[in-house]
Amino acid sequence: MIILETTGDIAHVHDVVMIKEGHTYYLFSTGKGIPMRRSKDMLAWEQAGRVFDTYPEWVEQAVPNAKSLWAPDIVFHAGKYYLYYAASTFGSRRSVIGLATNVTLDPRDPNYNWVDEGAVISSQESDDYNAIDPQLSFDEGGQPWLAFGSFWSGIKLVQVDRRTMKPSRGAELISIASNPGSAAVEGAYIVRRGDVYYLFISHDYCCRGTLSTYKIKVGRARDIAGPYRDRDGKLLTDGGGTLIYAGSSRWRGPGHNSIYVENDNYFLVYHSYDADAEGAPTLRIEQLGWDQEEWPLSPSALLER
């Protein structure tokens, strides 16, 4: 297990996901137009442009006051990169998840071109869930599923059509995590390891600088649709979750993680608010360990015991 000493353009990185194309790693995060960063070694990062110079017209119509696009997720599937993202405003359920595709992530490649694939799923103030924080994963049979949700009734999972890579009309929304009481749960990320699915979530509050109380938790299940339980057997739909990392005196409110897998190594990729930099949300990457019972371990958390 290691904690990577990242350098370069790593400040003001929020809700981050990482993927690799060829010999280059790419990061996507919340921000105007969805900022992109790249690195050759996962350590030194530089800017690599934005996905959108102008927002698709349908996004502006769906959420007129959206200034930035939130919490992207990206996968490579059937020869394309599928980038899911959300448009919303803080505290609102008038939200929409969108999709863009590309055949390469290298802006210098002549084939580089982000194609707007339109809306995926939306929510309104009358709904008891929020259509933000998308994350696409696949079950053991190759069936794609989309996890999403923030606050209110929590995290949902919906089956995705293999052709459109969007949910079919009327597809069932399955509840997989919630946080009764405060309702503060979001940032779902599902990853399969062996025969087990791990659901990472963020409990409590982000976006408050050094006062942020975000923390990363996890549950697991034998089926991608759950039920997910923590180490003590508590359902994640009942507020459960085994703590992975809650931060330190310097690194406050760690959360909204993604998982990057390379050569059977699992990397926890997330943001944390740096108390030494006036609370700037900052990129953090660390290699997860696994205990004897196959629960993930954060090296940052172990160092602080």
> Which residues are designated catalytic?
15, 186
Q: How far apart are CA 205 and CA 214, in angstroms?
A: 5
Contacts of residue 300, defined as CB under 8 A and 6 or more positions apart, other chains included, come to 3, 245, 248, 251, 254, 284, 286
Residue pair 130/185 in contact by the 8 Å Cβ criterion: no
> 296: which strand partners?
290
Residue pair 149/173 in contact by the 8 Å Cβ criterion: no
Q: How far apart are CA 253 and CA 22, in angstroms?
A: 33
> 25: which strand partners?
20, 39
Residue pair 103/145 in contact by the 8 Å Cβ criterion: no
